[in-house]
Chain A
Amino acid sequence: MFPYEKYLRRDRFPHIWCTGCGCGIVLKALLRAIERSKISKDDIALVSGIGCSSRTPGYVDFNTLHTTHGRAIAFATGLKLAKKELKVIVVTGDGDATAIGGNHFIHAARRNLDMTVLIYNNYIYGMTGGQASPTTPTGKKGSTAPYGTIEPAFDISGLAIAAGASFVARSTCYHAVQLDKYIHKGILKKGFSVIEAISPCPTYYARPNRLGNVVDMLQWYKENSIPVEVARKVSEEEKKDKIIIGILHDAEKPEFCEEYQRLSARVRKIDNK
């Protein structure tokens, strides 16, 4: 049995998540990844914004920071730059990271600041009652899209890659074992790493869209996910509406903290001359 207890603030339970919510699965994957990384609890800062996923930090025994809606990555940027030895992990949702916080998300990726952003993507605003989010698939319903949304959805991982992230991976709550491997790799990666976890919201996404219960949703993930290696070989038509999972991007590029330290050293050398 994995020692989850070691990381949980048991006095904070019961948690606020609905029955069947994917947040718990993602949280457990995160804890397994952290355990494997052997980083001390004192050296981990878990930062979040607002939403269901952003309640995660309250339940775990790290340096935990629950910030304002959309701004977790910006808070985390200050924290990381002020204390570079901290391992900073941001937990956020699709709305938090790509709607209200979209600007911070792309710019942190561009800067390639060393942090890991774990995005619980459940295609909906759960906390506020099921409104459509930037990742709600076209045609799917939310409380603010009663006739189905007419907007195209964001590809979060694609956005992260385009914006300059070093490491980008996607998994689902069905593929929980892969998920913790990707989170672990993201944590170890020097640079901006993004892990997108497709996560079920049985209450506010499945119900209006008649997707069944959480088991049906996980079954759907199982049947409709394509490993990235396979996806690269098949036609666009075959990939349509599928979830492409795996390590989507892994690159070496200059990391912001190191570049800043280099700059500071160079400036001070000039001053001393």
Chain B
Amino acid sequence: MVNRENAKLMTGNEACAEAALVAGMSFFAGYPITPSSEIAECLARRLPQEGGTFVQMEDELASMAAIIGASLAGVKSMTATSGPGFSLMQENIGYASMTEVPCVIVNVQRGGPSTGLPTLPSQADVMQARWGTHGDHPIIAVAPSTVRETYDWTIKAFNFSERFRVPVVVLLDEIIGHINEKIVFPKREEIEIVDRARTKQNPEDYKPYELTDSDIPLFADFGSGYRYHVTGLSHDETGFPTNDPKKVDLLHRRLNRKIDRYKSEIISYKTAFLEDADLCIVAFGSSARSAYRAVSRARTSGLKVGIFHIFVLWPFPYEELNKIARRIKKFIVPEMNLGQVAHEVACATKYEVTQVNRVDGGLITPDEILEAIKNVPV
């Protein structure tokens, strides 16, 4: 039953901050940037109340560095930013990938490139979330479309991060960040919380990157008696740098395999009206909201349209979309960028994809998607 206790009117940014606390996050480092600042503001108020630590750093490079440092001490940590700050964080996101330090980065997307449109939404950091840092590297990115989804996916972001020891990006956008919606909170006991697997070995025998069956090494908190070395240099299982081609190859293949082999447990999406559809809309984030409305109106006019709503953008659901493409040949991707996800959908389906794009700071309306639906040749 919904009552005052478990329902509240709140923004996506507030839901993100509250969810992080529920997930067990106790360290936040950030730098002010529109449209993400409310996450920092909320946590500046909440973390001292909860016994956690909030620190406003001098820039985003420092924020990203600080959350990695905190996570090495064994606490769950997070930062929040928007496009320009996300760009500044990339080098250290690569460091977290390379050294397998769990952490969560929230990017409330705004128009870019550069300073762009600070107060207006965009979904143009999809590729940066995947490939922003240099080198092949594992990463996970999730994209909620409502305030409640923001709550759920922020918690899941921490869970992924802890389980796979990877940085996880929560891709919000200005619309989700700032929209006020009623959120009905899940019961605490129904929320799954994952903590990183820690070593129980003798400190003398501990190798920080020792191969395990799961491909995910066992963690030891800094300062817990396990004295080991962490470096962003290519390293072997002892954690020390190496140039040995065999060991370097082993490391990089394992780092990437770590996500690849578990992708079926990470990938998440929802479908609706696809059973008899001859056209599929692939949507994510706030654009998915307009897509649902467009689909329901198209159905009212007798058009057989369905939706594939992506929650986890990286790893991308190539195989799942490929399966759908065996029957459906027409795809529309509405997104507030010039086709970043459309390109991936085309890769997955091998079909040309109709794009509905906006990069003017406006949101994609149901009408614009409906128009595209009507114009796709049958």
Contacts and interface: CB of A to CB of B under 8 A. Distances in A.
A77 interface: yes
A12 interface: yes
Nearest to B91: A68
Nearest to B233: A66
B57 A74 contact: yes
Interface residues of A, number: 39
B interface residue count range (under 10 / 10 to 19 / 20 to 34 / 35 or more): 35 or more
A226 to B, nearest CB: 34
B73 A79 contact: yes
Contact of B62 (A45, A65, A82, A104): A104
Interface string B48-88: 11010101011101110111111111110100000000000
A71 B74 contact: no
Interface string B292-314: 00000000000000000000000
Overall SS of chain A's interface: helix
Contacts of A85: 223
Contacts of B62: 71, 74, 77, 103-104, 107
A83 B66 contact: no
Given A63-B222, A77-B57, A103-B62, A82 B69 contact: yes
A59 to B, nearest CB: 10
B36 interface: no
Contact of A45 (B27, B223, B225): B223
B182 interface: no
B49 A271 contact: yes
Contacts of A78: 27, 29, 55, 65-73, 77
A233 to B, nearest CB: 37
Contacts of A80: 69
A64 B228 contact: yes
A107 B29 CA distance: 14
A65 B222 contact: yes
Most chain B C-beta atoms within 10 Å of own C-beta, residue among A45, A83, A267: A83
A4 interface: no
Contacts of A82: 26-27, 53, 69-75, 77
Contacts, number: 136
Contacts of B71: 78, 82
Contact of A68 (B49, B66, B92, B222): B92
Most chain A C-beta atoms within 10 Å of own C-beta, residue among B55, B67, B224: B55
A100 B69 CA distance: 19
A61 interface: yes
Nearest to B46: A267
Contacts of A68: 65, 91-92, 95, 232
B227 A42 contact: yes
B369 to A, nearest CB: 42
Interface string A54-69: 0001100111111110
A144 B75 CA distance: 43
Contact of B57 (A45, A64, A66, A107): A107
A56 B225 CA distance: 20
A12 B27 contact: no
By Cβ-Cβ distance, the 3 closest A-B pairs, closest first, are: A78-B69, A78-B66, A74-B65
10 contacts: A65-B69, A66-B229, A67-B65, A71-B62, A77-B55, A77-B62, A78-B73, A81-B27, A83-B73, A260-B53
Given A66-B233, A81-B55, 9 more contacts: A65-B69, A66-B230, A68-B92, A71-B61, A79-B69, A79-B73, A82-B75, A85-B223, A104-B61
Interface of A: 12, 41-43, 45, 47, 57-58, 61-68, 70-71, 74-83, 85-86, 103-104, 107, 260, 263-264, 267-268, 271
Interface of B: 26-27, 29, 48-49, 51, 53, 55, 57-59, 61-63, 65-75, 77, 91-92, 95, 221-233, 240-241
